[in-house]
């Protein structure tokens, strides 16, 4: 059993402490380690957590952009939202290669600017696919500027993406997107100071033979006023989705115009043959005269049918519905 101090010893000890003769732990300036400052006003802390409504907006954008992108390049395209992160803008900018296909835009009435980045290998794939290429080689644009045709076609894709972004946001918070300018050097695409927090949303684009990403960066300061809408969850006691939300999304989808194309036929030729074309030439297609035509909606095969005339206009009589695989 340990020794117990007598009353006299306790008095002597207390006297020594009071007069500074006995050292105490408070006399030593021990440094406290493992403690970091916590700024309650930090944007990184405020934006932490899931944004369920933003997830739904991203899913809506993926569906809309898949349709418009497929229609532009006449090929089936898959678009999926793969990640939503928050990061300091300076760190995000340093992660981008140079050159990059950078596109600055506005989402009025939200404050500030947004940034859309089209991955370099996707830029070259867009041009290659549009002109009928089917190579499996992934060209990485490095140490060279984008060509004129690459710049023009990428701007068209971005313009379509901004229209789809506007439609995807409309059921939650109506915005109007406006294209501002493009850049290739990340240093010239500073939409906010380096220390500001931005949302970084990455969409994976799968083409037939390659894939790439489209990234959207939106400053936290822009979405801060509507953060309650983005954090809202649509739950009831039975975990049912909000009926008003579903109705508004359905209404927007049903009134969205899509492009319908009846494909007369398909064939392949060399660029040399293409250059020799002249008025009066006959181009042989690869399908039989008795074969039905394939009708595509936004580049996706949907039905088959035979051509005819209705009310003085060319028409297609549907004979078969093309079932979606999987």
- More confident site: 324 or 22: 324
pLDDT (mean) for 223-227: 90
Q: How far is CA 309 from CA 88, 163, 297, 301, 313, in A?
A: 60, 34, 20, 22, 5
User: What pLDDT score was predicted for residue 141?
Assistant: 52
Does residue 33 register a pLDDT over 80? Answer: no
Q: Which residue has the higher pLDDT, 164 or 121?
A: 164
Residues of the chain with pLDDT > 70: what percent?
75
Of these ranges, 5-9, 39-43, 59-63, the one predicted with the greatest mean pLDDT is: 59-63
pLDDT score, position 90: 93
**C-beta of residue 232 within 8 angstroms of C-beta of residue 53:** yes
Cβ(72)–Cβ(159) under 8 Å? no
Q: What is the pLDDT of residue 133?
A: 63
Q: What's the rounded Cα separation, in Å, for the pair 159 and 310?
A: 35
pLDDT for the residue 256:
75
Name the 3-class secondary structure at 238: coil
In whole angstroms, give the CA distance from residue 26 to residue 41: 33
pLDDT tens-digit readout, 130-187:
776 654 555 555 556 788 888 899 999 999 999 999 999 998 899 999 999 999 989 8
The answer to whether 167 and 256 are in contact (CB under 8 A) is yes
Specify the 3-state DSSP secondary structure of 8: helix
Residue with tokens 């954008």: 61
**What percentage of residues in the chain have a pLDDT greater than 90?**
32
Summarize pLDDT for 260-319 with one digit per residue, the tens: 888 888 888 888 888 888 898 888 887 788 889 888 887 788 899 988 888 888 888 899
Q: How far apart are CA 299 and CA 325, in angstroms?
A: 16
Q: Of the ranges 47-56, 75-84, 167-176, 236-245, which one carries the lowest mean pLDDT score? A: 236-245
Among 74-78, 95-99, 176-180, 238-242, the minimum mean pLDDT is found in 238-242
CB 257 within 8 A of CB 293: no
Domains of the chain: 43-254 (3.40.1550.10), 260-321 (2.30.330.10)
Mean pLDDT of the chain: 80
At 174 the pLDDT is 92
Residue 77 near residue 204 (C-beta atoms within 8 A): no
More confident residue, 40 or 158: 158
| Whole-angstrom distance, CA of residue 257 vs CA of residue 183 | 31
Whether the CB-CB separation of 56 and 45 falls below 8 Å is answered with no
Q: Which pLDDT does position 117 carry in this prediction? A: 94
Q: What is the mean pLDDT of residues 5-19?
A: 61
pLDDT at residue 239 in the model: 43
Q: Which residue has the tokens 């300036």?
A: 29
Look at 5-14, 145-154, 216-225 and tell me which has the smallest mean pLDDT: 5-14
Please give the order of strands across the beta sheet that includes 293-297. Answer: 260-263, 293-297, 300-310, 313-321
Least confident of 10-19, 32-41, 242-251: 32-41
Nearest to 118 by CA among 64, 69, 177: 69
Nearest to 17 by CA among 29, 4, 7, 27: 27
CA-closest candidate to residue 172, choices 235, 93, 252: 252
* Mean per-residue pLDDT, 183-210: 90
Q: What is the DSSP string of 39-73?
A: -TT-HHHHT-S--HHHHHHHHHHHHHHHHHHHHHH
Is pLDDT above 50 for 240? no
């Amino acid at each position: 059993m340990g020794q117990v101090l007598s009353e006299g010893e306790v008095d002597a000890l207390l006297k020594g402490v009071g007069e500074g003769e006995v050292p105490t732990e408070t006399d030593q300036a021990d440094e406290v380690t493992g403690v970091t400052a916590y700024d309650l006003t930090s944007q990184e802390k405020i934006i932490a957590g899931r944004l369920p409504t933003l997830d739904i907006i991203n899913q809506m954008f993926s569906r809309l952009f898949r349709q418009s992108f497929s229609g532009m390049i006449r090929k089936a395209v898959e678009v999926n939202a793969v990640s939503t992160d928050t990061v300091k803008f300076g760190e995000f900018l340093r992660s981008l290669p140079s050159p990059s296909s950078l596109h600055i835009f506005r989402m009025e009435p939200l404050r500030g600017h947004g940034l859309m980045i089209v991955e370099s290998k996707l830029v070259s794939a867009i041009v290659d696919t549009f002109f009928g290429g089917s190579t499996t080689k992934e060209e990485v644009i490095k140490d060279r500027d984008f060509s004129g045709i690459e710049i023009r076609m990428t701007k068209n894709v971005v313009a379509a993406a901004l229209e789809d972004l506007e439609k995807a946001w409309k059921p939650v918070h109506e915005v109007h997107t406006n294209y501002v300018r493009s850049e290739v050097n990340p240093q010239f695409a500073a939409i906010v100071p380096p220390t500001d927090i931005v949302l970084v949303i990455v969409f994976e684009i799968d083409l037939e033979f390659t894939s790439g990403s489209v990234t959207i960066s939106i400053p936290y300061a822009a979405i801060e006023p509507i953060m309650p809408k983005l954090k809202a969850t649509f739950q009831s006691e039975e975990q049912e989705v909000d009926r008003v939300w579903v109705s508004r999304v359905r209404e927007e989808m049903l009134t969205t115009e899509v492009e319908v194309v009846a494909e007369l036929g398909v064939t392949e030729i060399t660029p040399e043959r293409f250059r020799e074309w002249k008025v009066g030439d006959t181009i042989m297609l690869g399908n039989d005269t008795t074969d039905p035509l394939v009708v595509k909606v936004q580049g996706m095969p949907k039905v088959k049918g035979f051509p005819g005339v209705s009310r003085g206009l060319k028409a297609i009589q549907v004979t078969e519905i093309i079932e979606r695989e999987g």
